[in-house]
Amino acid sequence: MNAVETLQQSATELLQRLIRCNTVNPPGAERAALQMLGSELRDAGFEVDLLGAEPERPNLVARLRGIADGPTLCLLSHVDTVLATAEDWTHDPWSGDLAGGFLWGRGALDMKSQTAAEIAAVLSLVREGWRPARGDLLVVTLADEETGGALGAQWICEHHPDKVRCDFLLNEGAGAVIPYDGGRYYGVCVAEKGVFRFRLTTDGVAGHASIPKIGDNALLKMAPLLAAMDARQPGFDLTDGPRALLEGLGLEPNGDPAAALGRLRERDAGLALLVEPLLGVTLAPTRISASAKINVIPSSAVLSVDCRIPPGLGEEHALARIREVLGEDGYRLDFTEKVRGNQSPVNSPLMDAITAWIAEHDPGAQVVPTVLPGFTDSRTFRDHFPDCVAYGFFPQRHTSLYETSPLIHSADERIDVRDLGFAASFFRDITKEILGA
């Protein structure tokens, strides 16, 4: 067995052990998984802390100090998962079964696989006698990401910032190969959109439902608002990450992102569907409520809208784009959540190292920046440590983005074990590149 195969086997066995720890959140109960990882890292020579607001929900922080001063590289992940309904699965979601070249189980993609690949990689280095020539290596494995991170990233960054402060960070968010226009592209997530969810309220006059026109039905007033959001999205606001993505795909926006999107749609409609939300504000109505009784015409109706906005933009911009679609009259608007998106520079030594590694290990493939329409724990680290360059990258060569995306948070979640080895090799090599051989 060669070195790459040995590393793949180590990552596979570690992922099986992690999957067999049921960490569905809620309740999470991540302690057993994190204690197991902490023991492995401590035995290898890392300084290990388990820190948390609740005893059964700690966060793992492991540090390997370097020989000389230099940057701190953080390999970040989380071990909590979403729920799994066992009867919907081909293999038990907490079995960690190996079948057909895949490792099956909840967390196999999101994101115990990255935890396993990161830790298998650094353990292989340290057991060979490697230490950072410059700077420190941090392995941070968190609780509570799937419900927002209040006990995980938010808590550790607020209460122990010096334990997790870093210059470069690798986390989830991108990396599965994207086949496009005869080529192969690996996305590196450089930014995450902001969340500006809001409620729309329409007002009317209550009345008995047996006489429909005796009142003024507030629910009917929602119809034109829903129709407007169905008919169009706001205009585009092209920020650095999406612009670099379009350029990387050979679609120079030249001040007209809509035209670039049109050219992408002609070449690859599926990829265009994923790229379009990255180019501006999105509005998705998700819940509506009105009368509490079937026989009462509602005097008010409330619609909840999930609104995401490009990194760096705030409430005023969100409001302007909402009004562009809905107009200004006929409703009341209240923001229920306001979280600005954030981003890291597209160009950095870490991006250079990723690009060079892909060129060596998948010749002919290209690296392109991407933006996540949702969010990860990278958001919290960028907020607390503005100088930190944080990217989402878990490279997968053998299964594409179109194959992996439908499995995340779904039944039969699984990962090709060759991709697990591919990613572990990346984390091993990138650690040496950033911190010195």
Task: Please write the tens of the pLDDT for every residue from 407-421.
Answer: 999 999 999 999 999
Q: Is the pTM of this model over 0.85?
A: yes
Mean pLDDT, rounded, of the chain? 97
Under the banding of pLDDT at 50, 70 and 90, the label for residue 227 is very high
| CATH class of the domain defined by 194-237+280-335 | alpha beta
**Quick one: average pLDDT of 164-183?**
97
List b or e across 217-240, with b for residues whose CB sees 16 or more CB atoms inside 10 angstroms.
Answer: bbbebbeebeeebeeebbebbbbb
Domain boundaries, the chain: 3-180+342-435, 194-237+280-335
**Quick one: average pLDDT of 105-128?**
98
Nearest to 349 by CA among 241, 260, 436, 238: 436
Task: Please write the tens of the pLDDT for every residue from 229-251.
Answer: 999 989 999 999 999 999 999 99
What percent of the chain is modeled with pLDDT above 90? 97
Nearest to 291 by CA among 200, 213, 226, 220: 220
DSSP 359: H
312 has a pLDDT exceeding 90: no
As beta bridge partners, residue 2 has none
Lowest mean pLDDT among 2-11, 22-31, 44-53, 325-334: 2-11
SS3 321: helix
What percent of the chain is modeled with pLDDT above 70? 100
* DSSP assignment string, 185-198: EEEEEEEE-EE--E
Nearest to 54 by CA among 148, 130, 150, 146: 150
Same fold for the pair 3-180+342-435 and 194-237+280-335? no
**Quick one: average pLDDT of 330-343?**
95
Under the banding of pLDDT at 50, 70 and 90, the label for residue 1 is confident
> Looking at domain 3-180+342-435, which CATH architecture does it have?
3-Layer(aba) Sandwich (3.40)
d(C-alpha 88, C-alpha 412), whole Å: 8
172 has a pLDDT exceeding 80: yes
Under the banding of pLDDT at 50, 70 and 90, the label for residue 4 is confident
Query: Which residues, 6 or more positions from 306, have their beta carbon under 8 angstroms from its beta carbon?
Result: 195, 197, 282, 283, 284, 285, 286
The per-residue pLDDT for 426 is: 98
Task: Please write the tens of the pLDDT for every residue from 343-373.
Answer: 999 999 999 999 999 999 999 999 999 999 9
157 has a pLDDT exceeding 90: yes
Task: Please write the tens of the pLDDT for every residue from 247-275.
Answer: 999 999 988 999 999 999 999 999 999 99
**Quick one: average pLDDT of 196-217?**
96
State in Å, rounded, how far the first CA of the chain is from the last one. 23
The per-residue pLDDT for 46 is: 98
- Asked if 272 and 359 count as a contact pair (C-beta separation under 8 A), the reply is no
